Amino acid sequence: MSDLAITPGHGAAGASHDEHTTTTGLPNTKLAMWMFLSSECMLFGALISTYVLYRGSSMTGPYPADVFDIPYTSVSSFVLLASSLTMVLALASAQKRDVVRMRLWLLATALLGLTFVGGQVYEFTTFYDEGLSITTNLFGTTFYVLTGFHGVHVTVGILMLLSLVGLSSADRLPDDAAFPVEMVGLYWHFVDIVWIIIFTVVYLIPTPGPAPA
């Protein structure tokens, strides 16, 4: 028998935040966030596939090997990974209702995110100076669109993190701030896992030489 009685969300102390008066018994916001992330897989899947499809098809340079600085991008990858760690530490603090530590970890996450985006801006500027623009060749087009979209996602994440800090400072977050922090965290970790794939496919796997004329 599956006659599940869902109690209103004002249960006994210590009750899970997953107790909700919804048909699934799960919070709709969290389910919607997972559906959104699921749809984002389609978006980034399209961009990554397009990059892979045109790999090594550029007729003119600069080619990936001419511009990529792997040690530099590796540091950026470490920074983004570290931001995922600070994000979960912010969530752990929010679950303990330690507001001060939660704000600090959120700020640290935003700062690491800013470092990553700053690094990407520097990288784009350097590539442009070396002659690679979005219209130079197929590599330039697919590279800038893919990593640019990812950078925009990171920037949106930073804005969400700073909004959380601002709302918390203005006492406009609920006493149990774990839920909004968890939602922003899910988005943040998603941009991290997208970067894990981009770093491997775009930067680490060597691209074949110039396309035959």
Q: Is 5 in the site for other proteins (CB under 8 A)?
A: yes
From 166, 169, 205, 209, residue interacting with other proteins (rule: CB under 8 A): 205
Query: How many of the chain's residues bind other proteins (CB under 8 A)?
Result: 66
Q: Is 111 in the site for other proteins (CB under 8 A)?
A: no
Q: Nearest CA to 150 among 117, 123, 119? A: 117
Evaluate whether 195 touches 150 at the Cβ level (below 8 Å): yes
**Nearest approach, Cβ of 177 to other proteins (angstroms)?**
15
From 10, 23, 42, 171, residue interacting with other proteins (rule: CB under 8 A): 42
Q: Nearest CA to 63 among 7, 4, 136? A: 136
Q: What is the DSSP letter of 208?
A: P
Contacts with other proteins, 163-192, as mask; x by CB under 8 A: -------------------x--xx--xx-x
Structure tokens at 12: 């006994």
Element spanning 74, H or E: helix 70-95
From 63, 64, 67, 91, residue interacting with other proteins (rule: CB under 8 A): 91
Q: Is 28 in the site for other proteins (CB under 8 A)?
A: no
- Could you tell me the CA-to-CA distances from 30 to 11, 20, 79, 106 in Å, in that order? 19, 11, 27, 20
* Residue 92 or 114 having the CB closest to other proteins: 92
Q: Is 113 in the site for other proteins (CB under 8 A)?
A: no
